[in-house]
A and B are shown apart, each in its own frame.
Chain A
């Protein structure tokens, strides 16, 4: 199991940050880290199914996820097929604006050395993708482009 958390300060009102960070229709296209994304279904309870993949070198890593119905300041999803993972993006107030925090937890197949090595590599890859996604989100919120 690997777990990566990254945060960024957004110099904007919390409400502005929440509008962008918790709406999957807005946040997934902004976050270029998700090289491949598509809404598959919108369910009656407000949840949604999406196909979400990261571009890692020449491979795509991800699968179908269930995005929970919108909450006040959080966007949460978990995998239903493909790479087993869960993630959430949370917005909280900060002195100079808002803090957007993203966490992804991933289960890796493999044991001992292979499992450990996979985890170390994947943590670094995830961290860089999350950072890239957060920076794109921050810029969009702060400058609207």
Chain B
């Protein structure tokens, strides 16, 4: 009852809302679940420098984002809950949900925004961002091993302005926890979902227990094997100077991530099984 009460309580966002004791309590059971259900493999944390960084990941799994869940748990097992706090930028739908939204905030999630992220980096936190957002999390099955950032460059400008390094994080398996048939951008635009809900895609998906569904709802994920690789940091000032060509920077960062993602995907022998 005590746990239920805490889960239902409204939690503030950001470093104030992050609850190390809650994370410590939940970590063993969630990590066990991630290990058994997703056979999670996370490597490369030794690449993370001891300074605030912007983790940049590819986003998968529709409404469930299982690889974010696995990454957050793995981060806390590696750096401990007392280590540099990790704050993940999330869609407002996620942090606004009852129960799940509160749990997410206790784990350090905030509604995505550039000012919020800049403040967090200045306060010494590591920030996790998924530039592809819903567009990437709902990409079709055939693109499941592709980086789809949709041309968004705000994360690059954020890291450059705050003089923090980007640490790319690539993950496979998350997009195998349900099946997406198409990208559905035209339908989302036609129904004005992009304006009303800030949702830019409305694809046809297949998930359990919903079956065929336009878009996606929280579902029971297929038990796909999840592999995550943390890459060496990228210093934008060192590589591109004080006044970079953003198209060039975007091309380079997404290229580095695509190489690593394709390499990770090549470890898959049978999709879903791993």
**Do the beta carbons of B262 and A128 come within 8 Å of each other?**
yes
Contacts of B197 in A (CB 8 A): none
Task: Say yes or no for A121: interface residue by CB 8 A criterion.
Answer: yes
Contacts of B256 in A (CB 8 A): 139
Cβ contacts A113-145/B at 8 Å (1 or 0 each): 000000001001100110110111011001100
* Size of interface on B: residues with Cβ below 8 Å to A: 16
**Do the beta carbons of A121 and B262 come within 8 Å of each other?**
no
CA distance A132 to B265 in the complex (A): 8
Contacts of A56 in B (CB 8 A): 269
Task: Say yes or no for A66: interface residue by CB 8 A criterion.
Answer: no
By a beta-carbon cutoff of 8 Å, the part of chain A in contact with chain B is: 32-33, 56-57, 121, 124-125, 128-129, 131-132, 134-136, 138-139, 142-143
Min distance, Cβ A80 to any Cβ of chain B, angstroms: 25
Contacts of B214 in A (CB 8 A): none
Contacts of A124 in B (CB 8 A): 268, 270-271
Task: Say yes or no for B79: interface residue by CB 8 A criterion.
Answer: no
Task: Say yes or no for B252: interface residue by CB 8 A criterion.
Answer: yes
By a beta-carbon cutoff of 8 Å, the part of chain B in contact with chain A is: 145, 251-252, 255-256, 258-259, 262-263, 265-271
Min distance, Cβ A54 to any Cβ of chain B, angstroms: 8
CA distance A57 to B269 in the complex (A): 7
8 nearest A-B residue pairs (beta carbon): A132-B266, A132-B262, A135-B262, A128-B266, A139-B259, A135-B259, A132-B263, A129-B266
Name 25 interchain pairs, CB-CB below 8 A, sorted by A: A32-B263, A56-B269, A57-B267, A124-B268, A124-B270, A124-B271, A128-B145, A128-B262, A128-B265, A128-B266, A128-B268, A131-B145, A131-B266, A132-B263, A132-B265, A132-B266, A135-B258, A135-B259, A135-B262, A135-B263, A139-B256, A139-B258, A139-B259, A142-B255, A143-B255
